[in-house]
């Protein structure tokens, strides 16, 4: 307001000066004075009118409401960009840390690990699609930086009949945690069963998914992905790391028919048990070929459950209590194959059976402070060869996470590990995380 | 205009002034992110709408769980009213992604973003999260100012009429009725709070800025040092000194905010903690927007009077 008045005053003075100079050149002094006086009078009247209008707006705010609304402002951006950086540090009494911490985004060494630095991009492509991409940087045990296109997919936004299409490379929807990124995990490491079934980086590949939201009054969704079955992130299928599962030489198995692709169906449903409690249950399968033989295949089945209670007067989402559990089983049909270790030995055809589970309980004690406990176990039946990847083991973890704000996190976690035939280990890990850029929306 | 629509208009014009209204064949499913927006939709939509709010009246609207049941609710919605200004940024986009409903997509007639057209305050001059979780478009707690509500109900009526043109007259009549009631109440509220013009108050979060501006109250401090950042002992010490120096004697707290922190500060400053909600239904007897504002104004007036 003060600024406007000052501007108006300058305008008046400036106008008067200009008109005075012009008048001096043209007219006699008495006529100049009269004209100046008239100009001052009319400007004063105009200013009084303006002042009275402003006063009336201040006095009567309803009048302001009747005025036309402000122009709609521009919101959003063509693309949201965010960056999440994760640093782990800590110690384990097992010097060979990767033997204990098998996940790609777990702490790798005694000391410091940068397990995940993630550049996330997302945006609306056009009226029909949304696009997502995640580019991940990791520093390995030797200090080398690895870059990978972790995810890149488009998601349809306007298919009819409650259908939705996703296509590209993505973490497939199998259970609850497989398609969560490390910054959304409740612990510093991935559950053992996910690494046992899918490998160090979970199950992801290139493919397409069709999902259908059922027209029921409660949430139920059916989805099926069809994906390539080859590569390091499809370890139970046509992966170059499969030798560690079946112990035999790898068969260079090409895609001959649709049967050589991987199929991942999933059903999920959810109920609000009360106003403050929600339950989500799901069942998933991953079916596809493996490279122990020309017709060998793998079947993985899983069930998952998530329950959450949140206070009706939650502040920043706290307090809450949640339970999450997943159980999986794998039938790996290994064909008759030559042993990778001793090529003169033929391993018999056999079905390698593995299973595992984890269960975790989280307590959001007060705003931005969460305590958690997790128990887990994995195991496999005996086979014609020994594989470190299939030994029985279990882990008990407890952690405390403090979020200084929504955009940073500090975690401390203790792990007790037991490996059959090897022994027990203790580890203490700390984790620091920061997020910059667009505020990503959370999923349930 | 064909004969049928002439008949509709005529029927509506004849029936609505009598208040009988033709029974709607199918009510519009209106979903609002927060209970205050849901209440306004009920005022304008009347018998022609079924309204559901996603957030509970007692919970922090910044942190609503994106539960799967909300996906179903949004999938069936004919209209979605959100606050915008990044209030629901942490939970609504994920829900909309899964809901696959074009009718409520941004820019569709079935989508009202309430903050559009409202003059927002506290728009940051730079994007810098060292200042806390500041919303880049401005303070999103604008419904606490009845003048903003008038702008929003006009938007709701406009969009309802686009989605359901056959009942446009009813929406327009409801809008007029609501505005008249609000105008009358506004004069009453201003009169009630007039003796307290310039009164110093403290709030937990920056959520009463619009109310303070409208009714000439002065928010001297917030218990949070910065938006979304938990109160620290050193900041509370600053608040206590500021309250003592300026003679601020009331602290406004919503149902989901930490009342104990406010009580600790109140004990040391001889102040009173006022339980104030911004959501209809969070406190008994505040089911409509006008009842809610009545409650807020009365609680403030009696609190300020008592502490005078």
Cβ neighbours of A280 in B, within 8 Å:
68
Least CB–CB distance from A444: residue in B68, B100, B137: B68
Question: Do B228 and A405 make contact, defined as CB atoms within 8 angstroms?
Answer: yes
What is the arithmetic mean of pLDDT over A4-29? 42
Q: Are A50 and A1 in contact (CB under 8 A)?
A: no
Question: Do A315 and B257 make contact, defined as CB atoms within 8 angstroms?
Answer: yes
What would the DSSP string read from start to end of A339-362? BSSSTTPEEPPEEEEEEEEEEEEE
CA B281 to chain centre: 12
Question: Do B90 and A441 make contact, defined as CB atoms within 8 angstroms?
Answer: yes
How far B180 CA sits from the closest chain A CA (Å)? Answer: 11
Give B269-305 pLDDT, tens digit per residue.
Answer: 999 999 999 999 999 999 999 999 999 999 999 999 9
Q: Where residue A46 falls among pLDDT bands split at 50, 70, 90?
A: low
pLDDT reported for residue B105: 94
Cβ neighbours of A367 in B, within 8 Å:
230, 258
Distance CA B2, CA B8 (A): 10
Mutation for testing the B interface, residue in A64, A68, A73 having most B CBs under 10 Å:
A73
pLDDT above 80: residue A51: no
Q: Where residue A48 falls among pLDDT bands split at 50, 70, 90?
A: low
Give B135-182 pLDDT, tens digit per residue.
Answer: 888 999 999 999 999 999 999 999 999 999 999 999 999 999 999 999
B184 touches chain A (CB under 8 A): no
What interhelical angle do B146-163 and B168-193 show, nearest 10? 170
- With b meaning 16 or more CB within 10 Å and e meaning fewer, what string describes A285-300? bbbbbbbbbeebbbeb
Distance CA B115, CA B113 (A): 6
Which value, to the nearest 10 degrees, does the dihedral of the CA atoms of residues A181, B87, B221, B268 take?
Answer: -70
What interhelical angle do B289-306 and B168-193 show, nearest 10? 0
Q: Where residue B132 falls among pLDDT bands split at 50, 70, 90?
A: confident
What is the arithmetic mean of pLDDT over A119-125? 94
pLDDT reported for residue A44: 62
Give B33-59 pLDDT, tens digit per residue.
Answer: 999 999 999 999 999 999 999 999 999
Domains of chain B: 3-183 (3.40.50.1980), 188-306 (3.40.50.1980)
pLDDT reported for residue A34: 61
What would the DSSP string read from start to end of B230-283? PP-HHHHHHHHHHHHHHT--EEEE-TTS-HHHHHHHHHHHT-EEEE--SSTTSS
3-state secondary structure of B142: helix
Q: What does pTM read for this prediction?
A: 0.86
pLDDT above 80: residue B116: yes
Least CB–CB distance from B116: residue in A72, A163, A368: A72
3-state secondary structure of A90: strand
Least CB–CB distance from A62: residue in B102, B116, B186: B186
What is the arithmetic mean of pLDDT over A80-102? 96
Question: Do B102 and A308 make contact, defined as CB atoms within 8 angstroms?
Answer: no
pLDDT reported for residue A31: 56
ipTM field: 0.87
- Looking at chain A, the whole-number percentage of residues with pLDDT higher than 70 is 83
pLDDT above 80: residue A261: yes
- With b meaning 16 or more CB within 10 Å and e meaning fewer, what string describes A130-166? bbbbbbbbbbeeeeeeeeeebbbbbbbbeeeeeebbb
What is the arithmetic mean of pLDDT over A12-22? 41
What is the arithmetic mean of pLDDT over A88-105? 96
Least trusted range by pLDDT, from A72-81, A93-102, A188-197: A72-81
B102 touches chain A (CB under 8 A): yes
Question: Do A314 and B59 make contact, defined as CB atoms within 8 angstroms?
Answer: yes
Alpha carbon separation from B214 to A147, B146, B190, B195 (Å, rounded): 54, 9, 9, 14
Token look-up 């939970």 returns B91
Residues near A344 by Cβ (< 8 Å), separated by ≥ 6? none
Minimal-distance CA residue of chain A relative to B84:
A75
What is the arithmetic mean of pLDDT over A223-247? 94
Question: Do A313 and B63 make contact, defined as CB atoms within 8 angstroms?
Answer: no
Alpha carbon separation from B200 to A135, A362, B232, B259, B274 (Å, rounded): 50, 41, 22, 19, 14
Distance CA B165, CA B270 (A): 56
Give A336-357 pLDDT, tens digit per residue.
Answer: 999 998 889 999 999 999 999 9
Mutation for testing the A interface, residue in B50, B68, B92, B123 having most A CBs under 10 Å:
B68
Give B177-225 pLDDT, tens digit per residue.
Answer: 999 999 999 999 999 999 999 999 999 999 999 999 999 999 999 999 9
Least CB–CB distance from B66: residue in A157, A272, A444: A444
Cβ neighbours of A75 in B, within 8 Å:
84, 113, 116, 137
Least CB–CB distance from B137: residue in A75, A127, A441: A75
Least trusted range by pLDDT, from A191-205, A265-279, B127-141, B288-302: B127-141
Question: Do B214 and A62 make contact, defined as CB atoms within 8 angstroms?
Answer: no
Q: Where residue B26 falls among pLDDT bands split at 50, 70, 90?
A: confident
Minimal-distance CA residue of chain A relative to B120:
A70
Distance CA B212, CA B224 (A): 17
Q: What is the CA radius of gyration of chain A?
A: 33
What would the DSSP string read from start to end of A243-263? HHHH-BPPP-----SGGGSEE
pLDDT reported for residue B149: 97
Mutation for testing the B interface, residue in A57, A59, A63, A65 having most B CBs under 10 Å:
A65
Cβ neighbours of A271 in B, within 8 Å:
69
Cβ neighbours of B92 in A, within 8 Å:
441
Rounded to 5°, the CA angle A349-A352-A353 comes to 150
Residues near A301 by Cβ (< 8 Å), separated by ≥ 6? A283, A284, A285, A328, A329
């Amino acid at each position: 307001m003060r600024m406007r008045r000052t501007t108006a005053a300058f305008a008046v003075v400036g106008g008067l000066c200009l008109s005075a100079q012009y008048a001096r050149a043209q007219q006699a002094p008495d006529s100049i004075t009269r004209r100046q006086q008239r100009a001052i009078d009319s400007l004063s009247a105009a200013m009084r009118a303006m002042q009275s209008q402003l006063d009336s707006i201040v006095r009567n705010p309803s009048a302001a409401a009747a005025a036309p609304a402000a122009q709609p402002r521009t919101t959003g951006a063509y693309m949201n960009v965010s960056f999440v950086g994760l640093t782990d540090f800590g110690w384990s009494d097992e010097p060979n840390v990767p033997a204990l911490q098998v996940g790609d985004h777990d702490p790798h060494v005694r000391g410091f690990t940068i397990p995940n630095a993630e550049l996330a991009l997302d945006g609306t492509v056009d009226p029909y699609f949304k696009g997502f991409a995640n580019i991940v940087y990791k520093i390995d045990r030797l200090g080398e930086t690895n870059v990978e296109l972790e995810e890149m997919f488009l998601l349809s936004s306007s298919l009819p009949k409650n259908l939705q299409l996703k296509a590209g490379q993505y973490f497939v929807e199998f259970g609850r945690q497989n398609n969560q990124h490390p910054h959304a995990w409740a612990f510093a490491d991935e559950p053992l069963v996910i690494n046992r079934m899918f490998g160090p980086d979970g199950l992801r590949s290139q493919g397409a998914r069709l999902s259908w939201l059922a027209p029921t009054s409660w949430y139920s969704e059916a989805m099926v992905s069809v994906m390539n079955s080859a590569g390091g992130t499809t370890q139970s299928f046509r992966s170059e790391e499969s030798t560690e599962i079946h112990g035999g030489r790898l068969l260079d198995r090409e895609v001959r028919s649709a049967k050589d692709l991987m199929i991942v169906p999933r059903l999920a449903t959810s109920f609000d048990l009360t106003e403050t409690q929600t339950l989500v249950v799901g069942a998933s399968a991953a079916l596809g070929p493996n490279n122990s033989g020309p017709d060998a295949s793998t079947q993985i089945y899983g069930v998952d459950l998530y329950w959450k209670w949140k206070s009706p007067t939650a502040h920043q989402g706290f307090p809450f209590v949640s339970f999450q559990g997943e159980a999986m089983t794998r039938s790996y049909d290994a064909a008759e194959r030559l042993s990778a270790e001793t090529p003169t030995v033929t391993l018999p055809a056999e079905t390698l059976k593995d299973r595992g589970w984890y269960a975790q309980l989280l307590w959001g004690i007060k705003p931005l402070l969460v305590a958690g406990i997790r128990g887990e176990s994995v195991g496999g039946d005996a086979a014609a060869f020994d594989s470190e990847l299939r030994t029985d083991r279990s882990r008990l973890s407890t952690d405390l996470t403090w979020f200084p704000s929504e955009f940073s996190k500090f975690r401390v976690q203790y792990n007790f590990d037991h490996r059959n035939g090897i022994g027990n280990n203790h580890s203490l890990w700390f984790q620091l995380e920061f997020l910059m850029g667009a505020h990503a929306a959370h999923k349930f | 205009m064909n004969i049928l629509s002439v008949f509709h208009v005529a029927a509506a014009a004849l029936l609505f002034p009598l208040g009988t209204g033709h029974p709607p064949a199918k009510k519009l499913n209106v979903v609002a992110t927060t209970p205050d927006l849901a209440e306004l939709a009920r005022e304008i939509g009347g018998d022609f709408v079924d309204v559901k709010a996603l957030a509970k009246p007692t919970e922090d609207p910044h942190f609503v769980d994106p539960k799967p049941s909300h996906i179903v609710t949004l999938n069936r919605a004919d209209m979605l009213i959100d606050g915008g200004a990044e209030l629901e940024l942490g939970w609504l986009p994920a829900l909309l992604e899964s809901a696959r409903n074009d009718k409520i997509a941004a820019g569709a007639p079935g989508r009202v973003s309430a903050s559009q057209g409202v003059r927002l305050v506290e728009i940051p001059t730079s994007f810098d999260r060292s200042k806390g979780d500041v919303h880049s478009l401005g303070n999103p707690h604008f419904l606490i100012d009845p003048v903003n509500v008038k702008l929003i109900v006009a938007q709701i009526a406009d969009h309802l009429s686009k989605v359901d043109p056959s009942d446009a007259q009813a929406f327009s009549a409801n809008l007029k009725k609501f505005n008249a009631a609000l105008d009358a109440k506004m004069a009453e509220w201003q009169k009630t709070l007039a003796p307290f013009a310039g009164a110093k108050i403290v709030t937990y979060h920056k959520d009463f800025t619009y109310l303070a501006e409208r009714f000439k109250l002065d928010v001297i401090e917030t218990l949070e040092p910065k938006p979304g950042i938990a109160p620290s002992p050193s900041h509370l010490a600053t608040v206590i000194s500021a309250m003592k120096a300026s003679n601020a004697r009331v602290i406004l707290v919503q149902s989901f905010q930490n009342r104990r922190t406010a009580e600790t500060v109140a004990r040391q400053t001889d102040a009173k903690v006022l339980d104030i909600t911004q959501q209809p239904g969070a406190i008994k007897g505040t089911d409509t927007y006008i009842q809610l504002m009545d409650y807020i104004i009365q609680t403030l007036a009696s609190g300020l009077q008592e502490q005078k």
